[in-house]
Structure 1
């Protein structure tokens, strides 16, 4: 099948839907998702949306909190724009019909989460903000948007000289290959959580969009910064789901198996310290053989405040009434991704990225709680405004690039997702060392990672393509983590335990051909805007 559209969006999370919502109603927009439209990280997001809508709050305060949490590894002007535009974007959603939680007097009920200095978290449905927001956008989606489910995008279609993206190639569950043509292809595929053994992400988050962009020649940046959420429900040796940071904002306390506070004396914000701090403390306790719990006895009306978490605990046989929820860290959010400018343009003309798949420079080395949904809302709207100025579609080049070599199915048969997850966690998990990282990079290179990057994937089934994408992302993360010889935010090296001034603002940028260190503390994203 061959189809053409004005804009093609790969992914179905909040950033994708916000983008589709704001594109011209005269444009033909196609949303492609490899599973179902509601199977996204956004849909299961328990946290809210961080936005300055309270008169006693300020954009300056939100910016400062973001910079502190991310250890000043940001494009500062992008953070200022995010916080500044965020309030208007959230108010627009509310005015458009998104129902938010309110106090008895009708004012927004604003929550507190880790590393925030003010109550500024907007919630909808308690701990179901993601689901409510996605449902609102789906219910109000314009008629010009076509949704195609069950098709996995796996390669960018490129011009013959590989200089311009002109579409995407997909594969359905039956193995049929489809071509979608457009001068504007947006990757909104989310993060890479599923390449780790324990994650808060959907199991489909295998980094497909990042691998697609990288193989197409786009730059990726900051891949070493992977955030681990401190509190995943941990039962029978496995992570069962996320326990929102809002629980600690409502009074939950991290304790060890003896009831001793884990965060007392560790950080001034104690249980609301930045995520890399709390995750590290829990990791060290578990490594000592000490179980860790979230003490929720002080949280008032827990079941009413957190119905989603309550249901999660009941499904897994964890009684809320006892007041102690067993927890462990798990991969949660990628601060790095496909390099984009302020509008969402990548380094490949015709290719764009938005949401967690993109590196916009707003999250630094460690994302501030509830800034992720905000990013999707703000950048989705901003990219739409940019694309609206460059539609209609230009005629696509007559000649297209074809891979000289196609990977055979036997190339991926020996690859195990479970083995890769274990190896990635050991090398590039919460704690990293030069030896483990180097061993993992060498292991991936011996497997033939460079060959996979430069070969076509037409002859592989979807599971095999996911394996290839997971290995590519593991390689990108590990290579960058090996090169960054310091500890900063979510990147913790035991052999380089100090946050180095000389590394502040320096970014590790990777392409198919090279890896290099770029920039300094105040550098703006250098990508040239293209139409």
Structure 2
């Protein structure tokens, strides 16, 4: 039974950031379901939002974050995020991360949706996540233990405290990994949806682990859809970064009409929820929406990853029109944590997309996700270094069953239900249908631990997807308003009146308290 000071579940930017800041003084084991580079962080194109020039300010970045988040954000979390951006970027530069620069060696700063300033730092054109991840992986070599191709299937507990995890490898073998502190950095649940920018491994594992361990979850109804995914071969084939629109690309229909002109003052750079809904509505009316990249100078040089993807799917970049559809991109809710990563379960922590600090509110501002991983990953690391290291504990026995899981839906069936009822636009009857469908499997969901030994990883992923679907549909039913990434057709007017009122309050300097959100235990 291997023991570490810290065991981290997941290997994205938030996970590696925690490890990077503690590995010199604490023993760390990182358990990841695929390889180290399997995940959303490695795939991240856009960049890191940070205030890096004199014409910008953290106050402006904070205002943009709050407005994009429909003022559902935690004020304290946002303030800490935006104030830390410049320091984190400068530290990465000093340690060797090569962010893109102009000929005079000044940082090239991009602009993305809902940002008033150019403040997006990027690397490799559209390969920022890859650049930072490879830097961290290199720094962690021989300093942490990586356990790859192993799914964390159960959190170990003793007297109510979390003392590690059980892992299941590709051959089905179980192993216990005990630790003084356990960190969930498992990302979101994009695999719930038919169209998603997420890596296929994102099956809501952290939500399931935390929920079964007794942690609190909140804001699960707030699901962000990225407006522009490449539409090819009848599917969403890959992400087209918002940075493309930041460089001048515009959205249009087959007739050449710019679809965002009369929708929002920021037009093509409106908040993601608004752009995604407009494209969705156009698609529902039978229109095809294109991203017109002709205004972008040197597109293939600026966006080499996206260009290669388009060529793979035989998109003629010379014509300058890329067909796009929205796809699930980010879960704003998750495991409730303090700003130092603590959850309601002693010695269990969460960070990154798996966590819910309230920093993103109801809709994440573009390029704040990599920044979140850097800022809150470091905060958690600092906190962990201040905590005592306990002795190795022996976990409570897990009651396995000899029964095998039967009559589980397929991933495709789950995706069909979620896409139909929990998508970009929702309504009460549809949400009720989704909740009742997921609730049909509650006996299997609540008996998860018993099936850990005799089930395949794919079956356990299905149970985690069912758990996430049940909790998201329940949360969405309870929020009887439209706000950010949660849009209900049966309450559309309220969204605009609430948002307008809160924006006015913000501009007048009135302190805005975070609205109540149901917490699931």
* 2:151 counterpart of 1:114: no
Measured in 1, the distance between the counterparts of 2:273 and 2:303 equals 24
Deviation, 1:508, is 1.7
Deviation, 1:450, is 6.5
The residue aligned with 1:256 is 253
Measured in 2, the distance between the counterparts of 1:453 and 1:260 equals 53
Deviation, 1:436, is 0.9
Measured in 2, the distance between the counterparts of 1:267 and 1:313 equals 28
Q: Is the 8 A contact 2:445 2:466 kept in 1?
A: no
Deviates more, 1:59-68 or 1:19-28: 19-28
Q: Is the 8 A contact 2:404 2:455 kept in 1?
A: yes
Deviation, 1:414, is 3.2
The residue aligned with 2:391 is 395
Within a 5 Å distance, the mapping from 1:101-500 to structure 2 comes to: 101-141=100-140, 143-159=142-158, 161=159, 163-391=160-388, 393-398=389-394, 400-403=396-399, 406=401, 408-411=403-406, 413-449=407-443, 451-452=445-446, 455-456=449-450, 457-497=452-492, 498-499=494-495
Measured in 2, the distance between the counterparts of 1:384 and 1:428 equals 35
Deviations 1:189-213 (A, max 9, x none): 1111111001001000101011101
TM-score, normalised relative to structure 1: 0.93
Measured in 1, the distance between the counterparts of 2:328 and 2:425 equals 12
Cα 1:399–1:117 change in 2 (3 A) is closer
Measured in 2, the distance between the counterparts of 1:410 and 1:24 equals 39
Deviations 1:2-28 (A, max 9, x none): 210010011111111111100041311
Deviation, 1:409, is 2.8
Measured in 2, the distance between the counterparts of 1:452 and 1:468 equals 9
Deviation, 1:354, is 0.5
How many residue pairs were aligned?
Answer: 505
- Matched position secondary structure for 2:323: strand
- Matched position secondary structure for 2:54: coil
Measured in 1, the distance between the counterparts of 2:303 and 2:403 equals 48
Q: Structure 2 unaligned runs (5+)?
A: 503-512
Cα 1:341–1:450 change in 2 (3 A) is farther
Measured in 2, the distance between the counterparts of 1:407 and 1:179 equals 20
Cα 1:399–1:3 change in 2 (3 A) is closer
Deviation, 1:396, is 4.1
Measured in 1, the distance between the counterparts of 2:214 and 2:376 equals 23
Measured in 1, the distance between the counterparts of 2:6 and 2:424 equals 38
RMSD: 1.5
Deviation, 1:124, is 0.5
Q: Is the 8 A contact 1:409 1:461 kept in 2?
A: no
- Matched position secondary structure for 1:463: helix
* 2:97 counterpart of 1:98: yes
Deviation, 1:446, is 1.8
Cα 1:52–1:287 change in 2 (3 A) is same
Q: Is the 8 A contact 1:26 1:144 kept in 2?
A: no
Cα 1:63–1:401 change in 2 (3 A) is farther
Q: Is the 8 A contact 1:193 1:331 kept in 2?
A: yes
